Amino acid sequence: MPELPITPITPVRLLFIDNLDSFTYILCDYLRRAGAEVAILRSDLPETWERSCALFERGEVEGWVLGPGPGTPSDYPLFKQLFSRWIGKFPFLGVCLGHQALAEYFGAVVKRAYRPMHGKRSSVIHTSSGLFFGLPCPTEVGRYHSLVVDGSTLPNGCQIDAWTEEGELMAFHSPSLLAYGVQFHPEAHATHEGEALLREFLRVVYDRRG
Distance set, CA 178 to CA 43, 102, 121, 142, 147 (Å): 22, 11, 27, 24, 24
| CATH number, residue 34 | 3.40.50.880
* 53 included as an active-site residue: no
Question: Which residue segment(s) compose the domain that 169 sits in?
Answer: 12-208
Q: Is position 7 within any domain?
A: no
CA–CA separation, 204 and 7 (whole Å):
16
Q: pLDDT tens across 63-107, in order?
A: 999 999 999 999 999 999 999 999 999 999 999 999 999 999 999
Q: Is position 105 within any domain?
A: yes
Q: Is position 5 within any domain?
A: no
CA–CA separation, 122 and 170 (whole Å):
10
Q: Is position 4 within any domain?
A: no
Catalytic, out of 28, 62, 96, 158: 96
Per-residue confidence (pLDDT) for residue 10, from 0 to 100: 78
Q: Is position 1 within any domain?
A: no
Q: Is position 52 within any domain?
A: yes
Scanning 58-183, the segments in alpha helix (DSSP H) are 77-86, 97-105
CA–CA separation, 186 and 48 (whole Å):
25
Share of the chain above pLDDT 90, in %: 93
Distance set, CA 180 to CA 8, 11, 163 (Å): 25, 20, 14
Q: Is position 3 within any domain?
A: no
CA–CA separation, 163 and 20 (whole Å):
27
* 96 included as an active-site residue: yes
Catalytic, out of 62, 104, 168, 187: 187
Per-residue confidence (pLDDT) for residue 3, from 0 to 100: 53
Domain count, the chain: 1
Q: Is position 139 within any domain?
A: yes
Question: Strand, coil or helix: what is 155?
Answer: coil
**Spans in the chain with pLDDT lower than 50:** 1-2, 6-8
